[in-house]
Structure 1
């Protein structure tokens, strides 16, 4: 093989490597673009599902409010649980009473056996 043939062969090999590298980079760039698009669509789908779920839960809460006689605040719920624990030994019914005022509704509990009554109203929620 002559020097001229060797040079032509090297030039062709170099050109082929460059073309292969360019094609590889082009394919890699396309794959990266597709991955970014996939990630954006995932985020959009997650947001859509979250918004849909939030709306569904808000509707459920509103439906419960509409059908409920009274909804306890967290403090009132804690007081109710404590009252029930204290009067568990009575082994009787617990009565709830509600007293409407000009500001809001006061709530109380009463043990049917010992007669103990307690106002558990969370006035801070008024």
Structure 2
């Protein structure tokens, strides 16, 4: 093989390597673009799911408000649980009562066996 042929062979090999590197850089660039797009879509999907969940929960709250006679506050719920635990041994029914006043609605509980009546109204909500 002559020097000229060797030079031509080296130039062709060099050109092929450069072309491969250019193609590889193009593929890497494409992959990076796809990764960025994926990350942006993940963020957008999270927002979408969050908004969807918030709307779903707001609808549930509205349904509860529309279809409930009375909604206990956290304090009233704690008092209800406490009353039920104290009267578990009575093995009887617990009656709920609601009394309208000029200011708000009072809530209470009554044990059907021992007759104990307890006002559980959370007056801080008035």
TM-score normalised by L of structure 1: 0.88
Deviation at 1:35, TM superposition (A): 2.2
Q: CA RMSD in A?
A: 1.7
Secondary structure at the residue paired with 1:89? coil
Distance between the aligned counterparts of 1:59 and 1:90, measured in 2? 39
Q: How many residues align?
A: 126
Instruction: Name the structure 1 match of 2:27.
Output: 27
Where does the alignment leave 5 or more consecutive residues of structure 1 unmatched? none
Distance between the aligned counterparts of 2:106 and 2:74, measured in 1? 15
Deviates more, 1:100-109 or 1:18-27: 100-109
Distance between the aligned counterparts of 1:86 and 1:54, measured in 2? 37
- Say whether residues 1:121 and 2:115 are aligned partners: no
Instruction: Name the structure 2 match of 1:102.
Output: 102
Where does the alignment leave 5 or more consecutive residues of structure 2 unmatched? none
Distance between the aligned counterparts of 1:49 and 1:36, measured in 2? 20
Distance between the aligned counterparts of 1:13 and 1:20, measured in 2? 10
Matches within 5 A, 1:33-48: 33-48=33-48
Deviation at 1:55, TM superposition (A): 0.9
Instruction: Name the structure 2 match of 1:51.
Output: 51
Q: Which structure 1 residue ranges, 4+ long, deviate > 3 Å from structure 2?
A: none
